[in-house]
Amino acid sequence: MVLKHISIAACLLLAACDGGQGEPTAYEDMNFTQRHAFMSEVVLPQMKELFVEFDATYENMSCATCHGDGASDGSFAMPSPQLPVIPASEEAFFEYLEDPEHARWGVFMGEKVWPEMADLLGVPAYDPKTAPDGFSCTNCHMVEGQL
């Protein structure tokens, strides 16, 4: 187990493990315990780095920053109702982005957090044509009306 997680981390570091021997277990094939370890060893440290670059107050980023109450009740269910809720329609979303603070965050999310998270999970990022079920904002955030 431990070895496997080290190899996952090493693969991500070297970005050289697509195929061949020693292929790490894909996130989707991991059991809950493996996912927990992968989040602790790989996801949190990498995402913290991104967030701190954007805003130094994320130095204390934790599992709860993304998982909200799911981090304390142990479910780690996503999307998290404690994350900011984002508008449901495209129209409302663009209106929401007129607030410069939302826009600043939206750009950070769209350019950094979203693609990086999809990468870490080894899943395609949402694309209406090529990956309609791909990973998107709504894998983390609830949208209005969903709660």
81 near ligand HEC (CB under 6 A): no
31, 52, 53, 97, 119 from 83: Cα distances, Å: 25, 18, 20, 17, 21
Judged by CB, which is closer to ligand HEC: 5, or 67?
A: 67
* Residue of 9, 105, 122, 143 interacting with ligand HEC (CB under 6 A): 105
117 near ligand HEC (CB under 6 A): yes
Q: How far apart are CA 142 and CA 129, in angstroms?
A: 23
CB 144 within 8 A of CB 87: yes
* Residue of 78, 88, 125, 143 interacting with ligand HEC (CB under 6 A): 78
- List, in sequence order, every residue forming a beta bridge with 63; answer none if it has no partner: none
Q: How far apart are CA 99 and CA 113, in angstroms?
A: 20
Return the structure tokens found at 10: 């090493």
As measured in angstroms, the least distance from the Cβ of 146 to ligand HEC is: 14
Interacting residue ranges for ligand HEC, rule: CB under 6 A: 32, 35-36, 39-40, 43-44, 47, 63, 65-67, 76-78, 83-84, 86, 102, 105-106, 109-110, 113-114, 117, 121, 137, 139-141
